[in-house]
Amino acid sequence: MKIQILGTGCMKCNKLYAEVEKAIAQTGVSAELSKVEKIEEIVKFGAAFTPGLVIDGEVKSQGKVPKLEQIAAWINEANK
């Protein structure tokens, strides 16, 4: 599974990265976590706001930091 955080390094982007790390650990799913910080790359996902959360190419969230439980649910859903 590939999980990407879209953002230029703002405080919310860093918080989302940390929450996703927790969710990966909580679910026990094997995932590759990375940051996409270049505006040109972020735009390719169609995300209008950061931070953004992308799981296997699908934008799950943008403009906010979802709750840990929601992130874990998306990860489990994508792992099926």
Bond into 51 cis (ω within 30): yes
Q: Is 10 a catalytic residue?
A: yes
CA distance 37 to 50: 10
Out of 10, 11, 25, 48, the active site residue is: 10
Is 23 among the residues known to form the active site?
no
Out of 6, 13, 20, 53, which one is annotated catalytic?
13
What residues are annotated to the active site? 10, 13
